[in-house]
């Protein structure tokens, strides 16, 4: 049988996890929108949280850009682990994967088959 203290501890951890998951899910929706804030506001927000403009470089086709701005919710993680970049040229930024621009590769069926295909096809 668990003591009251152990039960409260487990309940606290469960609540903490649920709160994190809700915030993380909402934040993921926000950071993947095609929203642009005025530059001064975006810079100020980036000091604490991940903004859409900060995160979108992470989806670049260029490896050196893909390996940046991984943070979820709080932007300081990228600064701590030296993966933060503010050097983003949105006019040159290209998203996605090379070789997948062909329309027939963008259908639902083609995307569902993708994990089961070999690398040479």
Neighbours of 27 (CB within 10 A): 17
Beta strands in 1-121 (DSSP E): none
Q: Give pLDDT, residue 52.
A: 93
Q: Give pLDDT, residue 4.
A: 63
Buried/exposed code over 31-49 (b: 16+ C-beta within 10 A; e: otherwise): beeeeeeeeeebeebbeeb
Q: What is the DSSP string of 34-67?
A: -----HHHHHHHHTTB--HHHHHGGGBSSHHHHT
Q: Which of 33, 34, 40, 24 is closest to 74 using CA atoms? A: 24
CB 70 within 8 A of CB 87: no
Domain range annotation of the chain = 32-116
Residue-by-residue pLDDT tens, the chain, 121 positions = 556 665 666 666 888 889 999 999 999 999 999 888 999 999 999 999 999 999 999 999 998 999 999 999 999 999 999 999 998 888 898 988 888 888 888 899 998 998 898 765 5
Tokens of 36: 């642009």
Backbone angles phi, psi at 79, to 5 degrees: -70, -40
Q: Give pLDDT, residue 98.
A: 83
């Amino acid at each position: 049988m668990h003591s009251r203290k152990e039960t409260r501890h487990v309940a606290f951890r469960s609540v903490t996890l649920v709160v994190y998951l809700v915030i993380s899910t909402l934040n993921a929706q926000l950071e993947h929108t095609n929203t642009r804030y005025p530059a001064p506001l975006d810079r100020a927000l980036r000091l604490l949280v991940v903004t859409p403009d900060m995160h979108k470089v992470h989806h670049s086709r260029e490896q050196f850009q893909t390996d940046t701005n991984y943070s979820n919710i709080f932007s300081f993680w990228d600064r701590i682990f030296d993966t933060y970049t503010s050097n983003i040229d949105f006019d040159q930024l290209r998203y996605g994967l090379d070789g997948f621009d062909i329309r027939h590769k963008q259908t639902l069926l083609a995307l569902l088959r993708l994990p089961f295909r070999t690398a040479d096809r």
